[in-house]
Amino acid sequence: MGVGKCMKKPAAAGAFKKPAAAVPSTGAWRKIYKTTPKKDPRAYLCGTKAPGEKPKLIVEVTERMSKQYILIIEKIKEALENDNISKEEALQMRKKLCEQFP
């Protein structure tokens, strides 16, 4: 038996993939899904930017944040569809709307 025959070679420096959040995504939202679960009083939006991509969470609004969480999620969805805002802008919009509609 030779020494080192079973050892794996170390991975190259750029061999690891970047996490999905680290890759900047550009372009318009293709599909936006609104979900309102029955058990937990909350609503959230998921969306995709590329065809065939798995939907990712954009923003979530719970009843604890605001009693009018459905109204807030509708306003954010309209902005995502019409103004093509980013996820960061949607989170800022959620904060502002939760203060406006307690």
Q: Which amino acid is at 41?
A: P
For residue 48, give the 3-state DSSP assignment. strand
Encode pLDDT of 24-63 as tens digits: 556 788 889 998 888 889 999 999 888 888 999 999 999 9
Nearest C-alpha neighbor of 61 from the set 84, 86, 41, 89:
41
pTM over the 0.75 mark: no
